Structure 1
Amino acid sequence: MSSMTPATEEIAEKRIGMTLFIHATLLVGSSAIPEEDFLLWFPINLTIETLIIIQLLRMWKKYKYNTKQYYTIQVYWMLIGLSYFAMAPIVKVMYYTPSFWPVLIVTVLLFVYAHLIREKIAEVFVNPKKERQLRLWPVSLSILILVGILIMAIFRAQSYHPNLGIAVFLYLIGGMAVFLATPFSLSGERLEELKGESAD
């Protein structure tokens, strides 16, 4: 167990600040889609963000002498918050349509599935034999961005709901963030075990 030094405390504080900045930006943007529901969703999203920050502070207190474990947890909550704020708009846009429940159920299942396979995802990052799969992640992200931009352009041209295109784009990015986040929910000990298993 490593002791906390002033330098690592400062780094941790900067990381918390970065998480707050990213989440605050996404929180406002997510609450504004659709625009007419901003006053309803802003306090809801703010409450969720408050719970995330409380969890981060609780983990800081628990793991402040194990910075590696804390940084891992912090990345997890940063990405989970990002994915929530990115995926929520499509659910809100679909609220008054028959597509609401299918979209909501798929979203919940996506979160559950990503957590169920988190060890398999982690292996891609710690197993040198899976380097080819690791290179697919940035490629997949690039494809998602291009597809999202194309969808926004098509929806705008077809005069769908004005927020639908951006909501779909954010949903794709949020879905990617979920799968990136889940390996960071594993303990440091389990990640080391996976590294050892990959070396066998």
Structure 2
Amino acid sequence: MQSTISKESSVADTRIKMTAFLLLCIMLPSSFMPEETVVKWLIINTLVLIFVLGILYFTWHKFKFDTVRYYSLQVYILVMSIVFYTIVPLFKLLNDSYYFWLIALATTVIIIMAHVLNKRTTLSFVNKKHKKLVMILSAYVTVLIFVGAVLSGMMHTNEAPENTGVSILFYLGGLLFIVLAPMFLLTKSEVDKLAKT
């Protein structure tokens, strides 16, 4: 969050190379799940990467003299891009199933709720008086790991397509990033205000 970022220089570093490297590390395994569509999704994911880097550059151009704000938005863009790459493999596997629409609806609801409740989530990290949400988030992570492991085992037992288990774990990890990302949209003044609440 912005309260943890120090203003070290008058002009912000774009961090485009670092962002590109991190996203590339996620993009490649995401493109190979499943392997039958690897060429198609390498092209799509590469175009998405270029688009994201373009957004990052324009964001830098607008906020380059406000390093705190830029670095916060840069993290948001990075994390939401990671979300895209981690949830896509499961959607590809469910493409011909009605489960696709159920997962799509659930994911959309989670994204909306995470952005609506971003101040409450941030409050649990910056204010010592509000730690219940941290406990809830910890429980949420534990449940995700457990459910992911169970689903992975079940899918492999039922001779599911290759990489199904990994795709599920990627998706569940993406859900966690969805919850955390909106916190970085808050301005420094909003975070400071929450810290004093």
Q: CA deviation at 1:103?
A: 1.5
* Structure 1 match to 2:4: none
Q: CA deviation at 1:109?
A: 2.1
Q: Output the amino acid matched with 1:194.
A: L
Q: Separation in 2 of the partners of 1:78 and 1:16?
A: 10
Q: CA deviation at 1:135?
A: 5.1
- Once structures 1 and 2 are overlaid, which stretch shifts more, 91-100 or 107-116? 107-116
Q: Output the amino acid matched with 1:4.
A: S
**Moved >4 Å (runs of 4+):** none
Q: CA deviation at 1:154?
A: 2.7
1:106-185 aligned at under 5 Å gives the runs 106-134=106-134, 136-138=136-138, 140-185=140-185
- Once structures 1 and 2 are overlaid, which stretch shifts more, 181-190 or 141-150? 141-150
Q: Separation in 2 of the partners of 1:18 and 1:51?
A: 16
* Structure 1 match to 2:61: 61
Q: Which runs of 5+ in 1 are unaligned?
A: none
> Does residue 1:38 correspond to 2:43, yes or no?
no
Higher helix share: 1
- Is the 1:4–1:64 contact (alpha carbons within 8 Å) kept by the matching residues of 2? no
Q: CA deviation at 1:161?
A: 2.1
> Does residue 1:4 correspond to 2:17, yes or no?
no
**Coordinate RMSD, CA, aligned:** 2.2
> Does residue 1:26 correspond to 2:48, yes or no?
no
Q: CA deviation at 1:134?
A: 2.5
Deviation string 1:88-128 (CA, Å, 9 cap, x unpaired) is 11111100122122122222222122111111111112221
Q: Separation in 2 of the partners of 1:122 and 1:16?
A: 26
- Is the 1:93–1:163 contact (alpha carbons within 8 Å) kept by the matching residues of 2? no
- Is the 2:16–2:57 contact (alpha carbons within 8 Å) kept by the matching residues of 1? no
- SS of residue matched to 2:130: helix
* Structure 1 match to 2:192: 192
Deviation string 1:75-98 (CA, Å, 9 cap, x unpaired) is 111110111110111111100122
- Once structures 1 and 2 are overlaid, which stretch shifts more, 175-184 or 153-162? 153-162
Q: CA deviation at 1:171?
A: 0.7
Q: Output the amino acid matched with 1:118.
A: N
Change (3 A) 1:86 1:161: same
- SS of residue matched to 1:129: coil
- Is the 1:26–1:82 contact (alpha carbons within 8 Å) kept by the matching residues of 2? yes
TM-score by length of 1: 0.84
Q: Separation in 1 of the partners of 2:160 and 2:8?
A: 56
Query: How many percent identity over aligned positions?
Result: 25
Q: Output the amino acid matched with 1:79.
A: V
Q: Output the amino acid matched with 1:166.
A: V
